[in-house]
Amino acid sequence: MQTKHLIQIDDVKKSEIEEIFALAEYYFQKNKKKVEQKHRLKPFTQINVFFENSTRTLASFELAGKKLGGIVQDIRIATSSIHKGETLIDTALTLNAMRPDLLVVRHSSSGAVNLLSEKVNCSVLNAGDGSHEHPTQALLDFLTIQHRKKEKEGLIIAICGDISHSRVARSNINLLCKFNNQVRLIGPSNLLPYSFKDMGLEIYNSMEDGVKDADVIMMLRLQKERMKGGFIPSRREYFNRFGLDNQKLSLAKDDAIVMHPGPMNRGVEIDGIIADDLNRSVIQEQVEIGVALRMAVLHLLVDRKN
Ligand code: NCD
C-alpha cells in the first residue's frame, strides 16, 4: 500500500483495496482458529485517540493492533487534557513526541483528522471524522457484502436513513461506486442531500420504492448528536415510514442481506425481528470481519516502505 494515511476512501486505489481484502481474508480465517499468531510485523506502537465516544470501533482497533503484536494505547478524550483547553494541534504535537507508528483518530469535526495528519510524522487512520468519512467501516462493509454475495460489482445497494449526518454513508458511497455498484439513497428529504444526484445516485423518499429488488439494504441510525434542531416528527412515525420491517424487506430480492454499522436503535430504523434474523442480518458478521479488516489495514500501514 502506497498511501501513508487513510483518511478517506479516495486515498486508496482499487488495486490497494484488493490488497487490503486479500490480507483481511487471511486474518479472518486465522482469527477463527484459536492459535497463537506468528507476527511477521516489526514492533510498532499504535495510539487510538478518540475525541468522540465509541464502543465497537475503539474495541475493534484495539483488538486488531494487539492481535498484530503492537503496543496499543487508548486515549479517551473525556479523561484527557483537551478538556483542560489544549488545542487539536497541541494534542497532535504531544502525541507525535511519543513517537507512535500509527495514530487511529476519531473526531466530531469533519476535516479534523486530516488536519492532525499534517502535524505528525506517523501514519494516521481516520476512525470517523464528523459527518465526513469512516473508511474502515466502508471497507469492512464491502468485504462483508462480498462474503455473502460473492460479487463485488453490479449489485443494487440501498443505503437508508439519516444520510446527511452519516460518515458511514459517505465512505460507502465512494467505495461502492468505485466498483460499479448501483447505489440508492433512501430517507426523508431533510436528511438526504440532493447533491448526491450529481454523482448519478438514485434518491428515494419512499422505502417501498427504494428497496425494491435491492441485493443489500444498509440501515443507518438517526445521528442526533450531529443534528441541530428536530428532524423527525416522532420515532413512531419515522419507523412507520423508514424503519425496516418484514413488509418492506419483502420487496427486496429474496436473498437480500441487511446491514447496520451499529449502534442500532430497534424499533426506530430497524425492527428487532430483522436484526436478529441470521438469514438476513449480517450485523454480527460485520463486527467479526471488522477486526480482520482493521488488522489488514494496520499491517499494511506499518509495513509500507519509506
Ligand atoms: C458509526 C459511526 O460512528 O459513524 N458507527 C460505527 O463506527 N460503528 C455509525 C453511527 O454512529 O451511527
Orientation of helix 167-178 relative to helix 135-149, angle to 10°: 50
Average pLDDT over residues 160-188: 97
CB 107 within 8 A of CB 130: yes
The domain locations on the chain are 9-133+287-305, 135-282
Nearest CA to 186 among 211, 213, 221?
A: 211
- What is the third-level CATH fold of 135-282? Rossmann fold (3.40.50)
pLDDT of residue 232: 77
Q: For 113, list phi and psi in degrees, rounded to 5.
A: -70, -35
Q: Is the CB of 226 under 6 A from ligand 1?
A: no
- Best residue among 52, 62, 134 to mutate for probing ligand 1's pocket (most ligand atoms within 8 Å of CB) is 134
Kindly indicate whether the domain formed by 9-133+287-305 is annotated with CATH number 3.40.50.1370: yes
CB 269 within 8 A of CB 221: yes
pLDDT of residue 88: 87
> How buried is residue 40: exposed, middle or buried, by Cβ count under 10 Å (0-12/13-18/19+)?
exposed
Average pLDDT, the chain: 93
pLDDT of residue 122: 97
For ligand 1, atom 12, the nearest C-alpha belongs to 221
- CA 167 to ligand 1: nearest atom: 4
Task: Read off the pLDDT of residues 23-82 as tens digits, 9 standing for 90 and up.
Answer: 999 999 999 997 766 667 889 999 999 999 899 999 999 999 999 999 999 999 865 556
pLDDT of residue 192: 93
pLDDT of residue 80: 58
- CA 56 to ligand 1: nearest atom: 8
pLDDT of residue 245: 98
pLDDT at 302 over 70: yes
Task: Read off the pLDDT of residues 97-144 as tens digits, 9 standing for 90 and up.
Answer: 999 999 999 999 999 999 999 999 999 999 999 999 999 999 999 999
The model's pTM is 0.96
Q: Is the CB of 135 under 6 A from ligand 1?
A: no
- CA 228 / ligand 1 centre spacing (Å): 18
| Band of pLDDT at residue 86, cut at 50, 70 and 90 | confident
